[in-house]
Amino acid sequence: MKDLVIDLEVEKNEILKRYRALLRACKSTLEKGDKRMIRKAFDMALESHSDMRRKSGEPYIYHPIAVAQIAAEEIGLGTTSIVCALLHDVVEDTDVTLDDIEREFGKKVAKIIDGLTKISGVFDTNSSLQAENFRKMLLTLADDVRVILIKLADRLHNMRTMEFMPRDKQLKLSSETVYLYAPLAHRLGLYAIKSELEDLSMKYMERETYQFIKNKLNEKKAEREKFIRDFSEPVKKIVEGQGLVADVFGRPKSIHSIWNKMKKKAIPFEEVYDLFAIRIILDSTPENEKADCWKAYSIVTDLYRPNPDRLRDWISSPKANGYESLHTTVMGPRGQWVEVQIRTKRMNEIAEKGFAAHWKYKESSTDSGLDLWVQKVRDLLKNPESNALDFLDDFKMNLFSDEIFIFTPKGALIQLPLNATALDFAFEIHTDVGASCIGAKVNHKLVPLSYKLQNGDQVEIITSSKQVPKEDWLNFVVTAKAKAKIKSSLKEEKRRIAETGKEILERKLKSLKITYNSENIHKLSYYFKLPSTLDLFFEVAKGTIDMKDLKEYQASEKVIENKPQDKIEAEQVQSLVRTLKAKDADMLLIGEDMQKIDYKLANCCNPIPGDDVFGFVTVSDGIKIHRTNCPNAAKLMANYGYRVVKAKWTNQQELAFLTGLRITGIDEVGLINQLTTVISHDFKVNIRSITVDSDNGIFEGTVMIYVNDTHHLDNLTKRLKMIKGISTVTRFDSIEKAS
């Protein structure tokens, strides 16, 4: 008992130590009475969570303190946010109510806590609910962006302390993080947090790759630091000689971005040159910022030769998330390209802390970027037509993508997402302009509606009163606004046609002596696999469904269940999941002689025994087994978490699984012969197909082979790499990609 008392005493001191560190972190923003307010929130949180512990066994209060610390230190939020961060879990996890919060801390804090409580369940039961909750979360965001910022701080701390969670939880949280939270941080300009969230997700989703890159970075650390010193010192000398106050240092790229580059360019780690960027941070007054940055640019490019295609000027026209900086790539002292970022202290704070830093500089800059963004969210939320999941995708696409700037004929600037078309531009100007658009002039040249706009284009829209929105427009527009307006206009047209179909159907049913009532209409829709009665009337009007079809329906009517399709689907999924999650089947074992559960291996990633996998319950195809690093995994886990089941391989008989290898090298005589000998004779592996392409002495081939498991495949890969002339052997995800 005595030990326990000592432990509690130690914990009590640790809690106070962390609380004092938090106060130090928000010292700069504290005003009169703020300290008392924070103390009150801390006491309430401490009291409410007193009996709770985290998975690691630590007192739960460590978590709210850490979230408040991140909000203060890394995002730069003020007292209201610190109070909300300390209390963010009390309403959800304890007996404290929102009314208690409002009574103690006022309406504003209560509203933010309400927003945070709403979002905490975003990814629970099923997908449409997730997206609906996400919509709610954004509605709150439209009122107060701090809800999202605190939620990001909460997620960051959970990701930092995730090692005690079960593996499936780690994968689910990582998928969600990379699918929603990292892009959200990026969109709010929180670059440092975005990078850390991506790295942490990768740490759990791609463990081996993460560790490999991390170790490689550590090996070359000393060499890299010397290079940065050699590069920076002459720059520093001249910059200071010119009367500028500057900090010059090297910043390593995140593990996630290095991995992305390796994948994108299909190159090994050794060939990724820009493992770090040189950053020059100038201490400038607001009126000299632009001139000082260009002065520093001219100093760097005098010393080192710049790559003219790699100059990015986000000082003259900042990104939509407020990011301002000059980027250039120059040839360093050892003949390698180095990225140099030039910005002022103010710009750097905005780049690291996003819009929270904007508020700090309110006097010297407007909040128009944030207002515009929030306005876009509001427009999206107001559109009642869009289905919740479409909404999620539209939201991601419109608010997380890079922007382009387009000019109207009179020179006004319109901001659109990357890949926007002339038709998107027309809808952005006005719904009626979009609906009646027949073409456009881009930089005075006539172009079709689907023309993809480039940054800086000047666009004039040509309209006609006879034009109406067409179905195929949906194939090329990208903005949510254009999609929503086209869909609603097509729906109107469809309704008009469906009215005629309704009358035709009524007559035809009468002649078949089938009563025209809502029950029978629903049965018909289900029979013809149509999502709604409107679609049924529409198909009848178009003549797709005729008398012959109706007679077939009449004959089969005896066996039709009277249930709408989506209900049946939901029930099928639920019962399948229930079967799987029964006590004895907590984990789906793949590869046994399993009569009771029908599973298939997913084509998108072709898992083989030994891969880290999960099961996904589909409606018509039983269970699909995916690799956890499958290109579709993040989306499936984030949107349909309730359909995901844990799965692992059992020790099974020697079964063969089809997988593909991509092989490159120097085309030497007899290379193919050596390859096939190693595969067929040494490893006794069956080859299904082999395709080879040789171009100017470079050999590239794909081999489809049957292997037993990952161990078997790894050994084969190692042996193939030893063949003279072979430079790379990589497994590829999808069998379809190869064919």
Q: How far is CA 89 from the centre of its chain?
A: 25
290 class by beta-carbon count within 10 Å (0-12 exposed, 13-18 middle, 19+ buried)? middle
Instruction: Measure the CA–CA gap between 405 and 463, rounded to whole angstroms.
Output: 22
Widest distance between CA atoms in the chain? 97
Instruction: Measure the CA–CA gap between 164 and 160, rounded to whole angstroms.
Output: 11
Instruction: Measure the CA–CA gap between 540 and 518, rounded to whole angstroms.
Output: 16
- Using only the alpha carbons of the chain, give its radius of gyration: 30
**Alpha helix (H) residue ranges in 528-644:** 533-542, 547-556, 565-580, 633-639
Considering only CA atoms, which of 98, 148, 92 is closest in space to residue 124? 92
Instruction: Measure the CA–CA gap between 359 and 369, rounded to whole angstroms.
Output: 12
User: Can you name the residues that pair with 8 across neighbouring β-strands?
Assistant: none
Considering only CA atoms, which of 179, 260, 272, 184 is closest in space to residue 224? 272
102, two tokens:
């409002």
Catalytic residue among 92, 225, 492, 552: 92
Question: Which residue has 């802390």 as its token pair?
Answer: 353
Query: What is the sign, positive or negative, of the torsion defined by CA atoms of 416, 313, 257, 346?
Result: negative
Instruction: Measure the CA–CA gap between 25 and 46, rounded to whole angstroms.
Output: 19
Q: How far is CA 259 from the centre of its chain?
A: 16
Cβ burial 382-415 (10 Å sphere, 16+ → b, else e)? ebeebeebebbebbebbbbbebbebeeeeeeebe
- Reported as type and span, the H/E element at residue 221 is helix 221-241
Catalytic residue among 11, 93, 100, 667: 93
276, two tokens:
């770090």
In one-letter notation, the amino acid at residue 4 is L
Instruction: Measure the CA–CA gap between 283 and 233, rounded to whole angstroms.
Output: 18
Instruction: Measure the CA–CA gap between 276 and 221, rounded to whole angstroms.
Output: 11
- To the query of whether residue 93 is one of the catalytic residues in this protein, the response is yes
Considering only CA atoms, which of 698, 618, 600 is closest in space to residue 657? 600
Instruction: Measure the CA–CA gap between 105 and 101, rounded to whole angstroms.
Output: 6
What is the per-residue DSSP string for 118-152? Answer: HHHTTTSS-HHHHHHHHHHHHHHHHH-THHHHHHH
Considering only CA atoms, which of 235, 264, 166 is closest in space to residue 614? 166
- To the query of whether residue 7 is one of the catalytic residues in this protein, the response is no
Nearest 10 degrees: Cα torsion 104, 109, 113, 115:
150
Residue 177 per-residue DSSP state: I
Q: Which residues are the active-site residues? A: 92-93
